[in-house]
Structure 1
Amino acid sequence: MLGVALLVPAPVFAGPPTVLAQFFEQFDDEAGPPPSEDPGLGGLDFEDMEESDLGAGPERVPGWASGEAPGEGEEAIAGAVPPAFDPAERPVLLEGLYERLAQAKSSTEAEPITEAIEELWAMSGSDTVDLLMSRATQFANDSDVDLSLAVLDAVVDIAPDEAEAWYLRAKVNVLAGKPERALSDLRRALNLDEKHYRAITDLGLVLEQLGAKKEALKAYRQALAVNPYLDDAQAGVDALSREVEGQDI
């Protein structure tokens, strides 16, 4: 059942978190000030990048340039738009979004919530980390798995508290045929964000590949408890509930 499609490119935010802003506008009574027009990331060129800027990772990673910090984002769930996104507020924003997602009445209602959550996942607050993760995704999609892993090794050294970095490295480890390493990375990601529903789903996929079907079934159900509209997790529950629990009937 385990299958890994192309990784979704990790966005590089040069301006305000658009999806997040649009989502919260649905719940705010008053509109915040218009977003600023940040210049963004320009002149991408790795050649001038200092080795120290990449930590202990690969010697050459093409395509880097420093850029502006993310622009104006939404404030906490009940407020107006603050002057800039503060990464320290991300756990609070995510918790509110996770609560709304669990209460969504349909996949249509859930869609903008998941878009906002996944946009927040990708916003580490560090231009270096965000762009390196985007490049690692590109390398994986181009089948350069070894280079992708080398970049992600650097990212988890630079940002060991970034759940999305561990999650992305887990996915690339699956592509590299290293499910045990993927399992370790997924658990690191979930230690940092226990409601990262894509990490929980992929945990189920890896456990299933390794033959731990009861544990995989539990993971799929945990993922659906956070996000009831995950097709992969639901398919896992449908298949394994018959195979695992049906044995006891």
Structure 2
Amino acid sequence: MGLALLAPTPALAGPPVVLAQFFEHFDDEPEPSAPPAEDPALEGLDLEGLDDGGLDAMPESELELPDAAAGEALDAPEEDVAGVVPPDFDPAERPILLEGLYERLSAAKSPGEAAPITEAIEELWAMSGSDTVDLLMSRAMQFANDSDVDLSLAVLDAVVDIAPEEAEAWYLRAKVNVLAGNPERALADLRRTLNLDEKHYRAITDLGLVLEQLGAKKEALKAYRQALTVNPYMDDAKAGVDALAREVEGQDI
């Protein structure tokens, strides 16, 4: 699975069209739609050439999945997520909206039903609320597309400094760290992503991909299964479970 090109995403002046349309029709039956726009999140990790020796140097704690956030999950009553997102949407409301969407995604009965939910979730991920952060993220993605990994990382270092609570910034830096041949740093960034958003199913899946390449197959299988509890239609996670379940569970561990 290679690294998908990163399409620069312009700063959002208001709620994205797809997100608004999704909430308008949240309770309707799924309808055929036009192909989704390019996903600003990377679709997969290019893991060729990772140094397997890096696993031995890592503390055992780095191989564990992050614990669930302390306390009760935010309540997300259906009426809070079923309405149209207002023009003055506040990104601070994302946790409540995301919790409702994650619940609906985990209960989706088909890929067609899940598709508009995942599209809405991933647009919410991209809504930082800061034009500066949006611009820097867009530039970093473009530099990664142009194979200027060092410059992309330099920009992302600045983003996580000015917006340390932005899960998507840590997630993108994890992706670019894999491209730069820094799997241990990628793992640390994925853990930061999941500490901010424990149901970020792409980060959970990519955690599994990196752990698998580093030889931590038991932990990788756990990550893949965790991703599928959030998004049952995550193809990379399904493939990971299929590839590892018999191998790992057949071992005497």
Could you state the TM-score of these two structures normalised by the residue count of structure 1?
0.77
Q: CA deviation at 1:182?
A: 0.1
SS at match of 2:165: coil
Q: CA deviation at 1:134?
A: 1.3
Q: Does 1:18 align with 2:27?
A: no
CA distance in 2, matches of 1:211, 1:78: 43
Amino acid corresponding to residue 18 of structure 2 in structure 1 = V
Q: Does 1:167 align with 2:168?
A: no
Asked if the contact 1:76–1:89 (Cα under 8 Å) also holds between the matched residues in 2, the reply is: no
Amino acid corresponding to residue 98 of structure 1 in structure 2 = Y
CA deviations on 1:186-208 (whole Å, 9 max, x unpaired) are 00000000000000000001111
Amino acid corresponding to residue 21 of structure 2 in structure 1 = Q
Which one scores higher on RCO, CA 8 angstroms, separation ≥ 6? 2
Structure 2 matches for 1:70-219, cutoff 5 A?
A: 76-219=80-223
SS at match of 1:247: coil
SS at match of 2:250: helix
Amino acid corresponding to residue 166 of structure 1 in structure 2 = W
CA deviations on 1:62-104 (whole Å, 9 max, x unpaired) are xxxxxxxxxxxxx941434424110111111100100000010
Distance 1:201 1:81, change over 3 A: closer
Provide structure 1 residue ranges, at least 5 long, that are not aligned to the other structure. 30-74
CA distance in 1, matches of 2:197, 2:244: 25
CA deviations on 1:86-125 (whole Å, 9 max, x unpaired) are 0111111100100000010000110000000000000110
Q: CA deviation at 1:6?
A: 2.3
CA deviations on 1:209-247 (whole Å, 9 max, x unpaired) are 111100000000000000000110000000010211123
Could you state the TM-score of these two structures normalised by the residue count of structure 2?
0.76
Aligned length: 202
Q: CA deviation at 1:248?
A: 4.4
Provide structure 2 residue ranges, at least 5 long, that are not aligned to the other structure. 29-78
Asked if the contact 1:220–1:236 (Cα under 8 Å) also holds between the matched residues in 2, the reply is: yes
Asked if the contact 1:4–1:175 (Cα under 8 Å) also holds between the matched residues in 2, the reply is: no
Q: CA deviation at 1:142?
A: 1.0
- Larger radius of gyration, structure 1 or 2? 1
